[in-house]
């Protein structure tokens, strides 16, 4: 299979392939690395809920780029790693240990707050706490709900939202529901890990996707470990210049919270394009930094297709075109939602077709043990990965069936979810987009394409609760898994231990974050912690969705199917043009992921990076581009680091509400 390598990454790949033997020998997974990783996962599990919910500060866990992991990695390298190396060179953390620690922290960041814990705990209690005579949930929903995955003890739910400082956590009321969701997430995460193991070689070695989010830690590790404590990255003045830019501007924002007289540099401006059409133009240093490392065709397509979708919505609204479709409210747009789903479906199926030889060899090796793809470099054997993926998908389907979905619909839900997650993860690995929210979620696809009558009352309620694990998707586990396994590709010895490192990271973070979030809620009262997590928003999503759909009882939408078909056909044509036309300027990835609301936050930063990179390559050439890469890496690291440092300062001073816009 022909390997497609963006020319701006060829130098990096050549350098990687010619890495020094002593560095490769130091790239091993060790018990010490896993131990340090566990400690830092605990910091994330407790620190993320504390700073987000109690301090209401900068959200370091609201993005699939895992800001908390970047911040803690930087702190670890310039403190623990540096001090150990100064005492004795052999004591410093090795490259393999740093890779292990980073992978574990990336996975851990996807669990607290918006990943798992902050979504599960409010949503499995909100139906009972926010029920009232006006919404009549008791009559409409309670008789059809499955009690085993919800917390319905009235006192436990009330104290969770209103607090009971002296009462402690009523574990007897929580454990049945928590264990039920633990089983679901065990199957879910197993499926995700195994799927990414199967795809790793195809994405990393055959297609050589750039994985922009992995470039910064890889640069930090270059030349580090062993006898060299900190590598060239930390000695590069260009990197520190890039680091200082977001550090200075964001510090002004943070200082203004303490001292209102401090000036603030505005980086976000509204653009009134036409009456009723306003765009948000802003500069985000993280997105500018990541977008600098992606193919220029992709960056161009990301922002141009966002403008296309905005213009499409505006024109349809102006000419009065309305699509007859189920009222999905927050969970889907009647036009761009189905379009996006059709495009993502074709994108994922195309990816499977592109990697068909690899997948076929994996299947043969898994089933018959035939010689094929070498799985010695994977974190588990292909046989374990293939059957693990099947077991995970089967376990999810069985759980959803018991939760209320019809038996034939449950696996369809899983299929839809995996299509969306795989498409978005491809966008993260190839396009470096740090925050992605799809224009439609599985619950919206079900209502639009299958219809409420087919789902039934119990199935519609169960569809509402899928918003817990595949709803907004600002942070989703598959993205850090992909980036983590890309980092794991650099490990030369003991790679199978990385699987257990990930398992430990997930378990430690999940247990600790659940306990600490419950502790905060029962001590201070959830409604006093965070209006986003405990107010009438997240906790009521499932019930509002179910009541809305049961009230309308709309069947399959012809308009929804037509827009899905149109999106799929458009994606097929874009893929064809990309493959056949040499100078075709648009990349299909942009069409698939640019319809979500998050693109409105970052499109202008992608545009800025695209323009800067184009000018640098045109007037400075590849050599200047290579020299400027540390500047943009520094911008990413600087923004994440300064966000974390001000959280530490806020925690020490007890300051509440000091938010630095890390990503939006």
Confidence of residue 369 (pLDDT cuts 50, 70, 90): low
- The structure tokens 């997974």 sit at 29
Beta bridge partners of 270: 280
Distance in angstroms (rounded) separating the CA atoms of residues 497 and 111: 21
What are the extents of the domains in the chain? 7-653
Q: Provide the whole-model pTM.
A: 0.92
Checking if the pLDDT of 171 tops 80, the result is yes
For residue range 260-271, what is the model confidence (pLDDT) as tens digits?
A: 999 888 888 888
The residues pairing with 281 across neighbouring beta strands, listed in sequence order, are 269
DSSP 54: I
Task: State the alpha helices, DSSP H only, in 476-554.
Answer: 478-488, 497-524, 526-529, 531-534, 541-552
What's the rounded mean pLDDT across residues 252-262? 93
Q: Report the C-alpha gap between 44 and 38 in whole angstroms.
A: 10
What count of other Cβ atoms lies within 10 Å of the Cβ of residue 384? 18
35-39, 270-274, 368-372: least confident range: 368-372
State how far the Cα of 383 lies from the Cα of 404, in Å rounded to an integer.
32
Assess whether pLDDT exceeds 50 at residue 625.
Answer: yes
CA atoms within 13 A on the CB side of 286: 27
Element (H, E) at 156: helix 154-162
- What length does the chain have? 664
Distance CA 150, CA 140 (A): 16
- According to DSSP, the residues that pair with 271 across neighbouring strands are 279
Q: DSSP for 90-152, please give it.
A: GGSPPHHHHHHHHHHHHHHHTSTTTTTHHHHHHHHHHHHHS--TTTTHHHHTGGGS-GGGS--
Is 540 a residue whose pLDDT tops 60? yes
pLDDT digits (tens, 9 = 90+) for 649-663: 999 999 999 998 876
Backbone angles phi, psi at 274, to 5 degrees: -160, 165
Percentage of residues in the chain having pLDDT higher than 70:
92
């Amino acid at each position: 299979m022909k390997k497609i390598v963006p020319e701006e990454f060829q130098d990096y790949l050549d350098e990687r392939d010619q890495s020094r033997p002593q560095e490769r020998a130091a790239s091993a997974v060790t018990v010490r690395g896993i131990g340090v990783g566990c400690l830092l996962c605990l910091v994330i599990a407790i620190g993320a809920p504390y700073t987000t919910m109690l301090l209401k500060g900068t959200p370091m866990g609201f993005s699939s780029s895992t800001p908390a992991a970047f911040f803690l990695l930087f702190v670890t390298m310039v403190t623990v790693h540096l001090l150990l190396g100064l005492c004795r060179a052999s004591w410093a953390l090795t490259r393999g240990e740093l890779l292990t620690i980073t992978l574990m922290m990336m996975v851990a960041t996807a669990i607290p707050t918006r990943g798992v814990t902050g979504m599960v705990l409010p949503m499995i209690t909100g139906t009972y706490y926010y029920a009232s005579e006006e919404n009549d949930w008791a009559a409409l929903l309670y008789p059809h709900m499955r009690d085993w995955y919800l917390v319905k003890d009235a006192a436990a739910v009330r104290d969770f939202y209103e607090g009971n400082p002296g009462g402690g956590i009523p574990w007897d009321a929580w454990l049945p529901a928590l264990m039920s969701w633990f089983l679901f997430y065990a199957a879910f995460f197993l499926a995700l890990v195994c799927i990414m193991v199967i795809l790793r070689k195809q994405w990393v070695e055959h297609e050589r996707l750039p994985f922009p989010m992995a470039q910064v830690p890889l640069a930090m590790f270059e030349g580090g470990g062993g006898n060299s404590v900190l590598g060239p990255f930390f000695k590069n003045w260009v990197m520190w210049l890039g680091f200082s830019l977001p550090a200075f501007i964001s510090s002004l924002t943070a200082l203004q919270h303490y001292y209102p007289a401090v000036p603030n540099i505005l980086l976000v401006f509204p653009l009134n394009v036409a009456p009723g059409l306003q765009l948000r133009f802003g500069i985000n240093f993280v997105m500018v930094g990541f977008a600098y490392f992606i193919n220029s065709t992709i960056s161009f397509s990301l922002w141009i297709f966002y403008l296309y979708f905005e213009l499409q919505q505006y024109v349809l609204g102006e000419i009065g075109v309305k699509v007859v479709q189920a009222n999905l409210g927050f969970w889907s747009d009647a036009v761009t939602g189905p379009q996006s789903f059709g495009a993502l479906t074709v994108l994922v199926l195309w990816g499977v077709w592109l990697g068909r030889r690899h997948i076929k060899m994996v299947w043969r090796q898994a089933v018959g043990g035939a010689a094929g793809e070498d799985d010695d470099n994977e974190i588990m054997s292909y046989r374990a990965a293939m059957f693990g993926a099947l077991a995970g998908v089967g376990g999810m389907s069985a759980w959803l069936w018991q939760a209320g979905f019809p038996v034939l619909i449950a696996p369809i839900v899983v299929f839809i979810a995996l299509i969306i997650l795989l498409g978005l993860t491809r966008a993260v690995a190839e396009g470096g987009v740090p925050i992605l929210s799809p224009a439609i979620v599985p619950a919206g696809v079900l209502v639009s394409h299958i219809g409420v009558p087919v789902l039934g009352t119990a199935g519609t309620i169960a569809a509402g609760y899928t918003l817990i694990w595949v709803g907004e998707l600002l942070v989703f586990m598959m993205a850090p898994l992909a980036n983590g396994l890309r980092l794991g590709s650099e490990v030369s010895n003991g790679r199978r231990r990385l699987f257990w490192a990930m398992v430990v990271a997930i378990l430690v973070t999940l247990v600790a974050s659940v306990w600490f979030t419950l502790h905060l809620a029962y001590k201070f009262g959830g409604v006093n912690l965070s209006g986003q997590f405990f107010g009438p928003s997240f906790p009521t999503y499932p019930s509002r969705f179910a009541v809305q759909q049961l009230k309308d009882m709309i069947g399959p939408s012809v308009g929804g199917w037509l827009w899905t078909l149109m999106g799929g056909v458009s994606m097929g044509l874009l893929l064809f043009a990309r493959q056949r036309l040499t100078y075709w300027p648009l990349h299909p990835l942009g069409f698939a992921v640019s319809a979500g609301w998050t693109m409105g936050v970052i499109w202008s930063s992608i545009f800025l990076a695209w323009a800067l990179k184009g000018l640098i390559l045109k007037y400075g050439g590849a050599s200047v581009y290579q020299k400027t890469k540390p500047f943009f890496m520094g911008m990413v690291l600087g923004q994440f680091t300064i966000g974390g440092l001000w959280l530490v300062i806020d925690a020490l001073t007890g300051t509440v509400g000091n938010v630095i816009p890390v990503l939006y």
